Amino acid sequence: MINKGGRELPPFLSGPLGAAGRGASLGRMRHALYLVPFLYSSAVLAAPEDAISEARLRANVEKLVSFGTRHTLSSQTDPERGIGAARKWAEAEFRKSSAACGNCLEIVLPETVVSGDRVPVPTRLVNVVAIQRGTERPSEVVIVQAHIDSRVSDVLDATKDAPGANDDGSGTALVIEAARVLSKEKFPATIVYAALSGEEQGLLGGKLLADYAAQQGWTVKAVLNNDIVGGSTGSDGYRDDAHVRVLSEGPRADATDALRAQMRRYGGENDSPSRNISRWIAKLADKDDAGLAVRQIWRADRLGRGGDQLPFSDKGYPAIRFTVAVEDYEHQHQDLRTEGGVKFGDTVDEMDFPYLAKVTRLNVRALAKLARTPIPPVPVVKGAVQPSTDIAWQPVPGAARYVLWQRRTDAPMWETRVLETVGTKASLPGVRADDWLFGVSAVAADGDESPIASAVPGGQFGPLPKP
């Protein structure tokens, strides 16, 4: 489509608006709307997060520590020590939860052989994954994951004790507890629970699972990576047990040069799907008085560091990282020792299990809602050189209706719930698109609402089309 200045508009500004098309009057488009009252009352649903057991979380972390080291290069055959024993234990825990729900979990063990700077000899890499198939949309997937491997000061040292209580026994215990609790219920979409190997050797387990997701043809709606989620006191003694950090990428990792150019011109730098999941989780946390508040960190990971959410982002899958509000650097990636009166090492006694229970609570709450809600639609906005804005999207499976959102271009959070509709288009007379950002969420029949997909270049939840 060409605007009045003779320039071709990019697809996100010139996409089709259904049968109405470019020539339809704004009045006809307004008549196509079916407005739903904002005070929608959904059925009261059970809160699976209330079944989380702090005692189980502690016992699981202590069990993981008992393997001595879980280094990726440690023994895979010793029944009591090393990565192999730890993986077998995690698999057994998933199988216990599956047996309790009538074998509702499918256990798979994706594996590959890896080598590289941190893997000097070819090594078998195995992830432990439990799949809870959705009852209506089994290919629509939300993943909760953590890495089961641990390390000491020397990343290649596979023999010293590496307890890895917080990094990342905490996240692994969270995933196992989430599987125990959520497997008791059924959900329209699929939940995947994953204990990943090889994170400390270069995010290898995350890459293996991201590749596996692509091979399975999954539509990955969200990845919740939990890495170092069980402590509340930092190296300097500062304590914060009231917040959890959620990290998310801004510009998409899978963006092409052409898409980045569109983002510069039309917006989208702060509206990746991952960023919108972060916003959604922050609002979700605010509604739970028994949980934690979210401190959003608007970068893909901490400075100079990484986590297993990044291989998913690289493929275009929406992914975020949960991590503690304040880190304790003497008690991660350290040999067990005492120097100058300071104790080093990632041990159980440095953890805060009530805090870990609250992080687990937020994850379980988010997983349950994400597995109930439809995937967000892909909205298209048309508003160049006109004193009104038109938005349209294609229907998505499982959506009973949609919500149109609006916010200022300099606003951090979605501000205005404009309208609800069972249709797939809307017209906003007198609203000049230059000054606003728009997004659309999908609402399930029970009232659960998805994250918002922004009507910007690259705003869709899912990998970008290949150029």
CA-CA-CA-CA dihedral for 190, 192, 193, 197, to nearest 10:
180
| CATH T-level fold of 48-372 | Aminopeptidase (3.40.630)
Which pLDDT value is given to residue 467? Answer: 73
CATH code that applies to domain 379-454: 2.60.40.10
**DSSP symbols for 6-19:** SPBPPHHHH---GG
Q: Do 450 and 442 contact (CB within 8 A), yes or no?
A: yes
Angle value at C-alpha 433, between 428 and 434, nearest 5 degrees = 160
Among the listed residues 145, 132, 130, the one whose alpha carbon sits nearest the alpha carbon of residue 185: 132
- Scan for tokens 């650097």, then name that residue: 329
State residue 365's pLDDT score. Answer: 98
Which residues are CB-contacts of 339 (< 8 A; sequence separation ≥ 6)? none
What does the pLDDT read at residue 221? Answer: 97
Tokens of 278: 């972060």
At 22 the pLDDT is 34
pLDDT given at position 244: 98
Residues 6+ apart with CB under 8 A from 423: 32, 33, 34, 402
Could you give the residue range(s) of every CATH 3.40.630.10 domain in the chain? 48-372
Contact between residue 248 and residue 446 where contact means Cβ atoms under 8 Å apart: no
**Spatial distance between the Cα atoms of 248 and 319, rounded to a whole number of angstroms:** 7
- Rounded CA-CA distance 139/215 in Å is 12
Q: What is the pLDDT of residue 46?
A: 63
Segments of the chain assigned to CATH 2.60.40.10? 379-454
How confident is the model at residue 466, as a pLDDT? Answer: 79
What is the pLDDT, as a whole number, of residue 16?
A: 39
Mean pLDDT by 10 residues, the chain (467 residues): 43 41 37 39 63 98 98 98 98 98 98 97 98 98 98 97 98 98 98 98 98 98 98 95 97 94 91 98 95 97 94 98 96 95 96 98 98 97 94 98 97 96 97 96 97 96 87
CB 279 within 8 A of CB 452: yes
